[in-house]
Chain A
Amino acid sequence: MGATAVLALPMPLVAQLTQNDLQTRLGTESHIGNITGHAKDGKADYRRYCVSCHGDLGDGNGESFPWVDPKPRDFQLGVFKCRSTPTGTLPIDQDLFDTIARGLDRSNMPQWSTFTKQQRADLVAWVKHFSPRWVSEKPGTPIVIPPEPEVTADRIKAGRDVFARVQCWKCHGVLGQANGPSAATLTDDLGRPIAAYNFTEGAKPKCGDTDRDIYRIFMTGLDGTPMPSFADNIKPEEAWDLVFYLRTLMSQKSKEKELAKQLGLKPVDPNAPPPTQ
Chain B
Amino acid sequence: MSTLTRSRFSRSSSSIPFLTAALVLVFLVLGVSQQANALPAFARKYGLRCSACHESWPMLNYFGQKFKDNGYQLMNDRDAPIWQNPGYWPVTFRITPIWHRVSTGKVEVDTYADGNPTGSTVRRVTSTGFDLSGLDFHTGGTLEKNISFYLLPSSDSTGAFHFEQVFVRLDNIFHSSWLNVKLGRFELDNLLSEKRILTLTGNGGVYQTYHFMPVGDGNIFGQIGDNQLGLEYMGHSVNDRTRISAALVSSSDGNVGLSTGANSYTGFFAGSQAFDTGRLGVQRIGFYAMVGQAATYYLTQGGVPLGGSGVANKGFSRVGFVGQFYFGPHIDLQIVTQHGSDNPWFGQGYGNAIATDGDGGTTATCSSPTPGCPFNNVPGTVLPVGAQTPTWNGATFEGHYVYSPQLIFIGRYEFEKMSQQANGAACTACTGGAGAGPSASNLGNISTYTIGFRYNPFMTSRAGLAWHNEYNWLHQDGTGPVIGLPSANINTGEVLTGLDFDF
Binding site for B on A (CB under 8 A): 41, 44-45, 47-49, 51-53, 63-64, 67-68, 101, 103-119, 203-204
A117–B278 alpha-carbon span in the complex (Å):
7
Q: Are A63 and B329 in contact (CB under 8 A)?
A: no
Q: Are A63 and B78 in contact (CB under 8 A)?
A: no
Q: Which residue of A lies closest to B462 (CB)?
A: A63
Sample of 19 A–B contacts (CB below 8 Å): A44-B329, A45-B329, A47-B51, A48-B49, A49-B48, A49-B51, A52-B47, A53-B48, A63-B49, A67-B47, A103-B75, A105-B76, A105-B77, A106-B78, A108-B47, A108-B76, A115-B282, A116-B278, A203-B77
Q: Are B77 and A48 in contact (CB under 8 A)?
A: no
Q: Are B277 and A116 in contact (CB under 8 A)?
A: yes
Residues of B within 8 A of A119 (CB): 281
Q: Which residue of A lies closest to B52 (CB)?
A: A49
Q: Are B460 and A110 in contact (CB under 8 A)?
A: no
Q: Are A52 and B276 in contact (CB under 8 A)?
A: no
- Chain B CB count within 10 A is highest, among A45, A49, A110, A119, for A110
Q: Which residue of A lies closest to B460 (CB)?
A: A63
A68–B48 alpha-carbon span in the complex (Å):
10
Select which of B51, B238, B278 is within 8 A of A48 by beta carbon.
Answer: B51
Select which of A67, A110, A114 is within 8 A of B240 by beta carbon.
Answer: A114
Select which of B52, B63, B76 is within 8 A of A104 by beta carbon.
Answer: B76
CB contact under 8 A between A52 and B49, given known A114-B240, A114-B282, A116-B276? yes
Q: Which residue of B lies closest to A201 (CB)?
A: B77
B3-37 vs A: 1/0 string, CB under 8 Å? Answer: 00000000000000000000000000000000000
Residues of A within 8 A of B277 (CB): 116
Select which of A48, A63, A103, A204 is within 8 A of B52 by beta carbon.
Answer: A48
A203–B145 alpha-carbon span in the complex (Å):
12
A111–B460 alpha-carbon span in the complex (Å):
21
Q: Are A107 and B278 in contact (CB under 8 A)?
A: no
Residues of A within 8 A of B47 (CB): 52-53, 64, 67-68, 108
Residues of A within 8 A of B97 (CB): none
Q: Are B281 and A113 in contact (CB under 8 A)?
A: no
Q: Are B52 and A52 in contact (CB under 8 A)?
A: yes
Q: Which residue of A lies closest to B44 (CB)?
A: A67
A106–B281 alpha-carbon span in the complex (Å):
29
A96–B461 alpha-carbon span in the complex (Å):
25
A48–B74 alpha-carbon span in the complex (Å):
16
A103–B79 alpha-carbon span in the complex (Å):
14
Q: Which residue of A lies closest to B74 (CB)?
A: A110
Residues of A within 8 A of B405 (CB): 47-48
Decide if the interface of chain B is mainly helix, strand, loop or mixed: loop
Nearest CB of chain B from residue A259's CB, rounded to whole Å: 23
A119–B329 alpha-carbon span in the complex (Å):
10
Q: Are A117 and B276 in contact (CB under 8 A)?
A: yes
Q: Are A116 and B282 in contact (CB under 8 A)?
A: yes
Residues of B within 8 A of A108 (CB): 46-48, 74, 76, 78
Select which of A63, A109, A116 is within 8 A of B76 by beta carbon.
Answer: A109
Q: Are A111 and B51 in contact (CB under 8 A)?
A: no
Q: Which residue of A lies closest to B66 (CB)?
A: A114
Q: Within 8 Å of chain A (Cβ to Cβ): is B121?
A: no
CB contact under 8 A between A107 and B49, given known A116-B276, A116-B278? no
- Chain A CB count within 10 A is highest, among B48, B238, B240, B404, for B48
Residues of A within 8 A of B240 (CB): 113-114
Residues of B within 8 A of A68 (CB): 47
CB contact under 8 A between A114 and B48, given known A63-B460, A103-B75? no
Residues of A within 8 A of B329 (CB): 44-45
Q: Which residue of B lies closest to A102 (CB)?
A: B76
Residues of B within 8 A of A203 (CB): 77
Q: Within 8 Å of chain A (Cβ to Cβ): is B62?
A: yes
A53–B49 alpha-carbon span in the complex (Å):
9
Q: Are A107 and B51 in contact (CB under 8 A)?
A: no
A109–B460 alpha-carbon span in the complex (Å):
17
B253-284 vs A: 1/0 string, CB under 8 Å? Answer: 00000000000000000000000111101100
Nearest CB of chain B from residue A197's CB, rounded to whole Å: 12
Nearest CB of chain B from residue A88's CB, rounded to whole Å: 27
A49–B239 alpha-carbon span in the complex (Å):
16
Residues of A within 8 A of B74 (CB): 103, 108, 110-111
Instruction: Mark out the residues of chain B between 84 and 124 whose CB falls within 8 Å of any chain A CB in the assembled complex.
Output: none
A19–B281 alpha-carbon span in the complex (Å):
28
Instruction: Mark out the residues of chain B between 29 and 76 whose CB falls within 8 Å of any chain A CB in the assembled complex.
Output: 46-49, 51-52, 62-63, 66, 74-76
Q: Which residue of B lies closest to A203 (CB)?
A: B77
Q: Are A64 and B77 in contact (CB under 8 A)?
A: no
- Chain A CB count within 10 A is highest, among B49, B239, B460, for B49
Q: Are B238 and A113 in contact (CB under 8 A)?
A: yes
- Chain A CB count within 10 A is highest, among B62, B74, B76, for B76
A113–B62 alpha-carbon span in the complex (Å):
10
Instruction: Mark out the residues of chain B between 149 and 163 whose CB falls within 8 Å of any chain A CB in the assembled complex.
Output: none
CB contact under 8 A between A52 and B461, given known A113-B238, A116-B276? yes
Q: Are B78 and A107 in contact (CB under 8 A)?
A: yes
Nearest CB of chain B from residue A129's CB, rounded to whole Å: 18
Select which of B49, B77, B281, B460 is within 8 A of A204 by beta carbon.
Answer: B77
Residues of B within 8 A of A116 (CB): 276-279, 281-282
A116–B341 alpha-carbon span in the complex (Å):
38
A270–B28 alpha-carbon span in the complex (Å):
76
Residues of B within 8 A of A44 (CB): 329, 404
Residues of B within 8 A of A113 (CB): 66, 238-240
Known: A47-B405, A101-B239, A103-B74. 12 other contacts (CB 8 A): A49-B48, A49-B63, A64-B47, A64-B48, A68-B47, A105-B76, A106-B76, A107-B76, A107-B78, A108-B47, A113-B239, A116-B278
Residues of A within 8 A of B461 (CB): 52, 63-64
Q: Are A114 and B62 in contact (CB under 8 A)?
A: yes
Residues of A within 8 A of B281 (CB): 116, 119
Q: Which residue of A lies closest to B64 (CB)?
A: A114
B396-432 vs A: 1/0 string, CB under 8 Å? Answer: 0000000011000000000000000000000000000
Residues of B within 8 A of A104 (CB): 76
The 6 tightest CB contacts between A and B, nearest first, are A64-B47, A113-B239, A110-B74, A52-B49, A114-B62, A105-B77
A53–B329 alpha-carbon span in the complex (Å):
21
Residues of B within 8 A of A47 (CB): 51, 404-405
Nearest CB of chain B from residue A84's CB, rounded to whole Å: 22
Q: Which residue of B lies closest to A44 (CB)?
A: B329
Q: Which residue of B lies closest to A66 (CB)?
A: B47
